[in-house]
Structure 1
Amino acid sequence: MASAATSKETLQRIDPRSQHAQRITEFVHDFVDLDASPSEAKPSEFWQGINATETSLWLDSGEIAAIGSLWNENLSGLTTNNTLLNKEVQEGTYDDLVPQAGKLVADLAEESQVREIGFILNLCHALKLVQQFRCGVSVELHTDLAYDTAATIDYARRCHDICPEFFIVKVPLTPAGLVAIRQLRDEGIRVNCTLGFSARQNYVATALARPSFVNVFLGRLNSYVADNQFGDGDLVGEKTTLASQAEVATFTRGLPMTDTKQIAASLRDASQLPRLAGVDVITMPTKVARQAKETLNQPWKSQLSEQHRVVLDEKVNPETVQIEKLWEVSKSERALVQKAILSPAADANELRLMAADYDSEDLFPVMSEQELRWIADDGKIPKHHRWQERIVRGDLAIDSLMTLAGLASFAASQAKLDDRIRKHLR
């Protein structure tokens, strides 16, 4: 068996303190004029209503024109990812930039050049967003880093150094990612722990790593239930997000130097917004934001005390799904957290073994190469029948399966981006 993903051949990394890294920093800063005036942001009476429930609003987009048509002073953040950046790159937005960036890393092997140029593209695009909108921007790292703690720390430091005031580094919820996040937070670097899908995942992430933000990609959870014909999927993601918000908020109140915020991510429809009012942050695609303004007119009311009811089809055996793991935190998982706080894992493997010792191996499952290929083939929403036996056995769960599927989906977009970079290097 292999770990949750098999890392590629070790690539050359640039020391964050090196002159090479400094040249890249200067290149990115020269590309974007941060002294230019940002877009005007006026107040929005519509969005003020949800802000009043103590919810911050972010847009999940990298398209400057689409963001600009919606931007107002009640929006406070943007989040990008490899899929969104890839859309910009495939449209040729940065074709002229790639050869220029390539000159900075010409002394590296080709695959290392590709990774560095992808990193530069991410930084340049994120800095353009900062220039236009003067808000926090979540910046994704290369998907190859998801299982490499040392590389994640290096690239996150470099990303942070580009724009400490506005950049938030995205790091996925993997064992290697959590170990990296803990170190980065000790250094004061803001981190968005991405690709979370349950209250228990975010409870563990908050306790072990203290990220600035954790996520529930709730739209995908609703789709998982609907696509696998367990029910209509209604309220699965919303119930999970509210449960995660409660766990994270309770934990942050009791743990010094922890200020983790909950993000409700991956909204699919404007009707989900009123059900999530009160959550720390809601991030939504621009099409959902436009739909909300066109269709919603009710008063906003916090939903934090709401207990949504999720109903599966009567033909479904609950034991084969174990959907309650999305919103419940078990005694074993709480015991794991207490152990990990007192004796933090030194590396990803130690964290995985620690979870197994506390009957929580399904948080960080071990997958074969064939299983990883199946996940990639399925796309964002895995086919449950492939995984039912393992879920019943207890060494895999919907949340950890969805994290792996999310990583595979981002990796596919990253591969397309990398291929376009290679084309310009030859």
Structure 2
Amino acid sequence: MNESLKEKIRNFVLDGVREEKVVGTTDPFWQGLKNTGTELWLDTGDMEEAEKNWSAEMTALTTNNTLVNNEIQKGIYDSFIAETREIVKELPLQEQIVEIAFILNARHGLRLAHKFGGFVSVELHTNTAHNFEAIVDYGLRYFEICPDQFIVKVPYTAVGLLGARKLRELGVKINFTLEFSARQNVMVAAITKPNYCNVFLGRIGAYISASGLGNGSGAGERTVISTQKFVTGLTRNNEVPTKLIAASLRNYPQLDALAGTDVYTMPTKVAADGKENMDGSFKSKLDVIYPVDLVEDAAKYFPEKLWDVTEQELALAKSLDENCPKNGSELIHRAHEAGCGDLFPYLSEKDLQFIASDGKIPKHERWANRIESGELAIDTLLNLAGLASFTADQAELDARIKRIIMGE
């Protein structure tokens, strides 16, 4: 795409955004949590729900492919999509769809930024996850639309690590997403040095419970606390230390259990339930080592890989940072050479189709033997399943765009 069209799109996104600003009031409940050192974000793209829960202590909102799709499917952007079609009509159809999806993400993110005055995490189209040039191009374009408030979300893939590293070198704020373990975040912190990284803790407990490996309690919490220590230690001397986000919070007791973690992204229901049911007396829990309820048989599936990091993995992360791979294939090859192949397993198209069909929580029995052999790992499966789930939601959003621009 030529620079003239990119500039035209940027101006189109910026034009006419006039939101009534929300002024959050101070809330002792949220101040008590903030005093433990935790930055408070709302995990929603729904403006009405965000406004109900917004307070002066909150600093950001975060969206993703699922949350933006939820807003688009309400029909609130249908006429805007039709108008956008005129801007990109010279592009091939599939490029039009991807470009309009970018415009919708940028426009909705910009409206949130104007309305709430905080940072907004905006997500890349899922078809960029393994495309270095596209990650860098769209990341820069988000940055140019709202450099002071947009934080670009890049998903955990081999190429994503390299694309996000380049964007950081170019000054773009990055929220590296879809991580499920301390060791994945060690790779992220060392190689990419993003502003933020994540543990999607709710899905960790859900996997262990659904797989019959235990009741799921404590696993996500233990992973977050452990990851916080590794990320803080690895990046404390960086020009911009990386902050850890406790993402995918499932219930309000986790607000207390993880107090002191750098950042929470809170679904509005979790935030509202917390205010209704808790007294606001928070203390940092960063020194707590949460027990994980596991059945005896669980040990052969190496659940500790969620919260432990080996010297081998630390050495790999350091090596990849100091001698950065030229591309994703080289990064994956070096991980296998270092004996850490389950971080980036070689999978067939059939494998990937099974992962997509399983949904957000992979079916353990399908993968158990390969996990036991060390070919795969729980965190890797959860990452691949998460990206597949976002891809499905992105496809639904893209389908609505196509119907509108084709006049169907």
Q: TM-score, normalised by structure 1?
A: 0.94
3-state SS, counterpart of residue 121 of structure 2? strand
Equivalent runs, 1:241-260 vs 2, <5 Å: 241-254=224-237, 256-260=238-242
Instruction: Give the length in aligned residue pairs.
Output: 406
Pairing partner for 1:30 from 5, 15, 21: 15
**Any stretches of 5+ residues in structure 1 without a counterpart?**
1-13
Question: What is the CA distance between 1:31 and its match in structure 2?
Answer: 3.6
State the match for 1:276 in structure 2. Answer: 258
Residue pair 1:376, 1:409 contacting (<8 A) in 2 also: yes
- The equivalences for 1:269-348 within 5 A come to 269-297=251-279, 299-314=281-296, 316-319=297-300, 321-348=301-328
> In the TM superposition, what whole-angstrom CA distance separates every residue of 1:295-333 from its partner, at most 9, and x where no partner exists?
11151010111111112123x2411x2100000111111
Rounded Cα–Cα distance in structure 1 between residues aligned with 2:362 and 2:261: 27
**SS state at 2:15 partner:** helix
Aligned to 1:82: 65
Mapping 1:39-50, distance limit 5 Å: 39-50=22-33
Is 1:94 the counterpart of 2:77 in the alignment? Answer: yes
CA distance in 2, matches of 1:66, 1:317: 39
**What CA distance in whole angstroms lies between the structure 2 residues aligned with 1:78 and 1:326?**
27
Q: Matched residues in 2 for 1:96 and 1:43: separation?
A: 37
Q: Hey, which bits of structure 1, 4+ residues long, moved more than 3 A? A: none
Q: Does 2:373 match 1:393? A: yes
Of the structure 1 ranges 64-73 and 333-342, higher mean CA displacement relative to structure 2 is found in 333-342
**Using the alignment, how far apart are the partners of 2:350 and 2:66 within structure 1?**
24
- Is it true that 1:382 corresponds to 2:324 in the alignment? no
Q: What letter corresponds to residue 23 of structure 1 in structure 2?
A: K
Q: 2:249 aligns with which of 246, 257, 267?
A: 267
- Work out the CA distance in 2 between the residues paired with 1:85 and 1:330: 37
CA RMSD in angstroms comes to 1.0
- The percent of aligned pairs where both chains have the same amino acid is 44
Matches within 5 A, 1:65-80: 65-80=48-63
Distance 1:362 1:258, change over 3 A: farther
Q: What's the CA shift for 1:22? A: 0.5
Distance 1:395 1:333 in 2: 15
> What is the deviation of 1:386?
1.0
Shift of 1:338: 2.3
Equivalent residues in 2 for 1:358-377, closer than 5 Å: 358-377=338-357
Q: Counterpart amino acid of 2:399? A: D
Q: Tell me the residue number matched to 1:146.
A: 129
| Partner deviation per Cα, 1:181-202 (whole Å, 9 max, x = no partner) | 1111011100110000000000
Measured against aligned partners, the alpha-carbon deviations of 1:343-371 in whole angstroms (never above 9, x if no partner) come to: 11111111111111111111111211111
Describe the SS at the equivalent of 1:96: helix
Render the CA deviation track for 1:262-305: whole Å, top value 9, x for unaligned. Answer: 00000110011101100000111001101001111151010111
Q: Shift in Å at residue 341 of structure 1?
A: 2.4
Partner-residue secondary structure (3-state), 2:246 = strand
**8 Å CA contact retained: 2:179, 2:199:** yes
The Cα of 1:50 is off from its aligned counterpart by 0.6
Post-superposition shift, 1:257?
2.6
Partner of 1:222: 205
**Which digits, 9 at most, give the CA deviation of each residue in 1:235-270, with x for residues without a partner?**
11010001000000000124x334110000001100
Q: Please point out which of 195, 208, 218 is paired with 1:235.
A: 218
Matches within 5 A, 1:394-413: 394-413=374-393
- What's the offset of the Cα at 1:37? 5.0
Per-residue CA deviation, residues 74-107 of structure 1 (Å, 9 max, x unaligned), is: 1111000111111111110100001111111101
The one-letter code of the counterpart of 2:52 is S
* Offset of residue 70 of structure 1: 1.0
AA in 1 matched with 2:346:
V
For residue 381 of structure 1, give the secondary structure of its aligned residue in structure 2. Answer: coil
Contact persistence 1:147–1:175 (CA under 8 A): yes
Q: Distance in 1 between matches of 2:375 and 2:197?
A: 23
Once residues 397 and 115 of structure 2 are traced to their aligned partners in structure 1, the CA distance between those partners, rounded to angstroms, is: 24
- Contact 1:31-1:124 at 8 Å conserved across structures: no
TM-score, structure 2 normalization: 0.98
Structure 2: gaps (5+ residues): none
Instruction: Give the aligned residue type for 1:87.
Output: N
Task: Measure how far apart 1:385 and its partner are.
Answer: 1.1
AA matched with 1:75: M
